Structure 1
Amino acid sequence: MRTLLYILSFAALIGLGFWAYQENYKTKQVADEAERLQMEIGQARARLAVLRAEWAYLNRPDRLRELAELNFVPLGLLPLGPEQFGKANQVDYPASQSLPELELNNPVDVSTLAAEEAAE
């Protein structure tokens, strides 16, 4: 009986060792993948910083003004006038949902309000 117990214990030990070995390699693989992704993120952020700097350089007001003056006639541009701007009352704002009127003197049960909103 002891021999069987020793054999089963040894087999369980080998099985657990094999499982631990596989988990170790899976963990290393995931850690390497995470490190690679972090490097890619860093490179993408560096590229984004360069692109933002280039965009800021190309959109300098003095450069844009010079380009507009050079290409004013060929592009058929019109001088900027105040009638080209809209007014605030022309903006279509989304409709706001009104909140229920609450009386400050009477305490309100929050669960009742939630039930009423759920029913609607």
Structure 2
Amino acid sequence: MRSLFYILSALAVMGLAFWAYRENYRTQQALAEAERLNGDIGAMREELNVLKAEWAYLNRPERLRELAELNFDRLGLLPLRPDQFGLIEQVAYPLPEMPAVTRVVDVVGLLEEERE
């Protein structure tokens, strides 16, 4: 009986060791993947910052003014002036559409019923 218990214990220990070995490699693989993804995210953030800087450089008011003047004959663009800009409160937003009235309601009849 003791020998059976020793054999089962040894098999359980070997099974747990095999499981721990596999989990160790899975964990290392997951950590490597997470590190790779963090590196990709960092590279993409850096690229985004470069693109934002390029966009800001290309949208300089003096550059846009020069382009408008150079291409006035072809495009008819007027140069930018400070008085052309407004506040957000000055923007006229469209009103929401009102639903169409499809049913007629007799208001006079309802008022007379309430009085009674």
Normalising by structure 1, report the TM-score: 0.67
- Identity among equivalent positions (%) equals 62
C-alpha distance in 1 between matches for 2:38 and 2:91? 48
Aligned position for 1:64? 64
TM-score after normalising by structure 2: 0.69
Bigger CA radius of gyration: 2
- Unaligned ranges ≥5, structure 1: 96-120
User: Shift of residue 29 of structure 1?
Assistant: 0.3
Alignment deviations for residues 3-58 of structure 1 (CA, whole Å, 9 cap, x no partner): 00000000000000000000000000000000000000000011011001000000
- Quick one: higher RCO (CA 8 Å, sep 6+), 1 or 2? 2
| 1:57-109 Cα deviation digits (max 9, x unpaired) | 000000000000100111233688x9xx9x958422559xxxxxxxxxxxxxx
Taking the aligned partners of 2:19 and 2:79, their CA distance within structure 1 comes to: 76
* Partner residue, 1:91: 93
CA–CA distance in 1 between the matches of 2:66 and 2:30? 53
Computed over aligned residues only, the root mean square deviation of the Cα atoms, in angstroms, reads 2.6
Show structure 2 runs of 5+ residues with no match: 98-116
Residues 26-41 of structure 1 mapped to structure 2, 5 A cutoff: 26-41=26-41
